[in-house]
Amino acid sequence: MIKAVMMMNTQGKPRLAKFYDYMPVEKQQELIRGVFSVLCSRPENVSNFLEIESLFGPDSRLVYKHYATLYFVLVFDGSENELAMLDLIQVLVETLDKCFSNVCELDIVFNYSKMHAVLDEIVFGGQVLETSSAEVMKAVEEISKLEAASNSISLVPKSVSGWRGR
């Protein structure tokens, strides 16, 4: 089972954190900081795996991937395969890339709820739900379409005029 998904930038600022078992806020922060301090001390060109039992308890592994200014981190237990988890990060990033066409850190910051929507399609309650980025895209687009339809009249003009006013 997947215990947590985290994205943080290279300065250690969390960009997205989702824990599949409840953690109090302080604990979450502690874990994010702990993970970051381990990650930033890793040299280049080493493996993407980390043993992280000191933070997440026994039988927990961590897989991370470094993209530009972002770390993508998955924490999971022994019932998952490390290499497959590495590919799951790849799936996630590929999907985000399709979503935002050339995803960058800002996209993730500003599209917080969409990020969660994508993630929820891929990982559901700690289990890998879907691994085809096309399928995920389809689901996410369906959601945005419906959402857009349900408030297109009220939202779009307002926001545009809001920007013009600045």
Partner 1 sequence: MEQLKTIGRELAMGSQGGFGQSKEFLDLVKSIGEARSKAEEDRIVLSEIDILKRRLLEPDIPKRKMKEYIIRLVYIEMLGHDASFGYIHAVKMTHDDNLLLKRTGYLAVTLFLNEDHDLIILIVNTIQKDLRSDNFLVVCAALNAICRLINEETIPAVLPQVVELLNHQKEAVRKKAIMALHRFHRKSPSSVSHLITNFRKRLCDNDPGVMGATLCPLFDLISEDVSSYKDLVSSFVSILKQVTERRLPKSYDYHQMPAPFIQIKLLKIMALLGSGDKNASEIMSMVLGDLFRKCDSSTNIGNAILYECIRCISCILPNPKLLEAAADAISKFLKSDSHNLKYMGIDGLGRLIKISPDIAEQHQLAVIDCLEDPDDTLKRKTFELLYKMTKSSNVEVIVDRMIDYMISINDNHYKTEIASRCVELAEQFAPSNQWFIQIMNKVFEHAGDLVNIKVAHNLMRLIAEGFGEDDDDADSKLRLSAVESYLQLISEPKLPSLFLQVISWVLGEYGTADGKYSASYISGKLCDVADAYSSDETVKGYAVSALMKIYAFEIASGRKVDVLPECQSLIEELLASHSTDLQQRAYELQALLALDARAVEGILPLDASCEDIEVDKDLSFLNGYIQQAIESGAQPYISERERSGMFETTDYHPQDHHEVPSHALRFEAYELPKPSGPPQASNELVPVPEPSYYSESHQPISTSLVSERESSEIKLRLDGVKQKWGRPSYQSTTSSSSTTQQAANGTPTYSDAGVGSSSSKPRSSYEPKKPEIDPEKQRLAASLFGGSSSRTDKKSTSGGHKPAKGTVNKPAAVPKENQTPVQPPPDLLDLGEPTATTVTAMDPFKELEGLLDSSSQDGGSSDVMGLYSDAAPVTTTTSVDSLLSELSDSSKGNPRTYQSQTSKGPNTKEALEKDALVRQMGVNPTSQNPTLFKDLLG
Show the site string, 76-115: x = touches partner 1 by CB under 8 A, - = not: ---x-xxxx-xxx-xx-------xx-----xx-xxxxxx-
Give min distance, CB of 140 to partner 1, in A: 8
Residue 49 in contact with partner 1, rule: CB under 8 A: yes
All residues at 6 or more sequence positions from 67 whose CB lies less than 8 Å from its CB, including other chains: 93
Show the site string, 127-166: x = touches partner 1 by CB under 8 A, - = not. Answer: xxxxxx-xx---x--xxx-xxx-xxx-xxx-xxx-xx--x
The CA distance from 47 to 84, in Å, is: 14
Taking the complex as a whole, how short is the minimal distance between the CB of residue 72 and partner 1, in angstroms?
14
Give the footprint of partner 1 on residues 4-33 (CB under 8 A): 13-14, 16-18, 20, 22, 25-26, 28-29
Q: Is residue 47 a contact point for partner 1 (CB under 8 A)?
A: yes
Q: How far is CA 94 from CA 22, 26, 37, 79, 117, in A?
A: 28, 31, 26, 24, 15
Give the CB-side neighbour count of residue 6, counting CA atoms within 13 A: 26
- Angle at CA 94, nearest 5°, toward 13 and 44? 55
51 binds partner 1 (CB under 8 A): yes
